[in-house]
Structure 1
Amino acid sequence: MNIFKKYINPSLKKKKRKIKKKINFSFELFPSSKLILKKNFISSINKINSLNPTFISITHRSNNRKENNTYNFIKTIKNYINFQLVPHITCINNTREELKNIIKKYLNKNIKHVIALRGDSLKLNKKYKIYAIDLIILLKKISDFYISVAAYPEVHPEAKSERFDLINLKNKFDAGADQAITQFFFDIETFLRFRDKCSGIGIKKKIIPGILLINNFNQVYKFCLFSNIYLPKWIKNLYLKSNNFNDNKIGLNIAINMIKSLYKEGVYDFHIYTLNKLNFSYSVCSSINLN
């Protein structure tokens, strides 16, 4: 038995589907001038382009309120690509006027799809005065943006409860959000249960699973600890047995089987957290055989 299928495939009964639907991929990059300067960057981007991504999201990176590395990165990368770029916009460290200026700058670049997030405070012990829902309302007042928001299958670390977290997500949809992209996860049934709970409280819009590619196990393990994400023991054991925490073959097979398992459960859209490993991301997505 394929060890990946043994552990990843959920035990839920599969529904027979007469018509196979296409898988849609979107990808996430974080802004880095070093990435653009790499000789193989254009080649890597062209590979991603061949997968016809629905969009490429650019994470928010700003060391202070005046410097917007996300905007600068998008302005530069637009010279190399011909697919949709979607910036993360965070609101916790900006005034409403500053947010309006940021939003209008993106509008001037003909960007109408954004990912609206609260973000993390640059100041310790800051009392939050603005949240993602406030940013959604502001975006809709300025223009008819297509808005993606964050969702948390394993509950946001700061949420008072799972119920509170779900209601917060529904409130974001009610305020004008169009779809949600989840935090990464490694347990398939966790996502499927979360999807059912979303449906149960009246969320009808698309919930896109976020897939984190394991290129460096130690790095991903730290992410899991920081974000309170459950990492199945069998994944740890695979890397321990391999004695190579940078074994791309293991990471590739985990991602492929997660995507195929979710596809069988009626999921057709996937957001790939690339960690800027574009060639590895291409290898994963181009290797998926749905037969």
Structure 2
Amino acid sequence: MIRPLLALALLAAPAAVPAEAERLLIQSTTSTQNSGLYDEILPAFEAATGLDAQVVAVGTGQALKNAQNCDGDVLLTHARTAEEAFVAAGYGTERRDVMYNDFVLVGPAADPAGIAGADSAAAALAAIARARAPFASRGDDSGTHKAERALWRAASLEPADGSGRWYLETGSGMGATLNLAAARGAYALTDRATWLSFANRDGMAVLFEGDPALFNQYGLIPVSPDHCPGTNLAGAEALRDWLLSEEGRAAIASVTRDGTQLFFPNEAPN
């Protein structure tokens, strides 16, 4: 059985592991959890391997910190630069591309800043800043927040100049940030999978999409036993191999919402 855990609860009292199943603890970005991906694919992985897969779903930045502190066996996150730095520092054994989707800019359907006709995602953010239209940011060092910050840099803008006025930092996950955007008539950057799984979309719409800068790659990293001697490296590698296998890739591709595929598996390794 899949049991999503809160990171703090995990630190306070590790979950009991059934005697017949070896635990694999996945430190994960929230989008894979919130979209329902794990609910749909991990049972098949557990059946194939006999492992008990448990998920800690937090922002990518926090997931990397948790794994660095040896709270986890494997990472599945979406911030390549930070992930590569994690491996380079000796905290992970390797990083492998697993799947991808994209980010989208959502906001009030009336689009008061006129971003729908923008030439690029950076130009769309510049239009929001010019209009001083409310923008809801996760502000939590997650993979989505890192992507958002990169887009602001591409626009040569510092949104913190509008902090507390038009730039609204939640310090929370994607669901809470989208709820704030819906309540305040604000724009937001979100991964498409979370948006499609989000229930509170009345009056909101996808307003900008398709820029290559909005590409969203997910990577898997086994935690290094040299840094964390107790890590379940064999289990982490089993998850890697299964996700990259024909069965795992088909499972990823099968997850849809409203008839739209949520994640796209990367090509099988040679």
Query: TM-score under structure 1 normalisation?
Result: 0.29
Query: TM-score under structure 2 normalisation?
Result: 0.30
Answer 1 or 2: which has greater strand percent: 2
Report 1 or 2 for greater relative contact order, CA contacts < 8 Å, sequence distance ≥ 6. 2
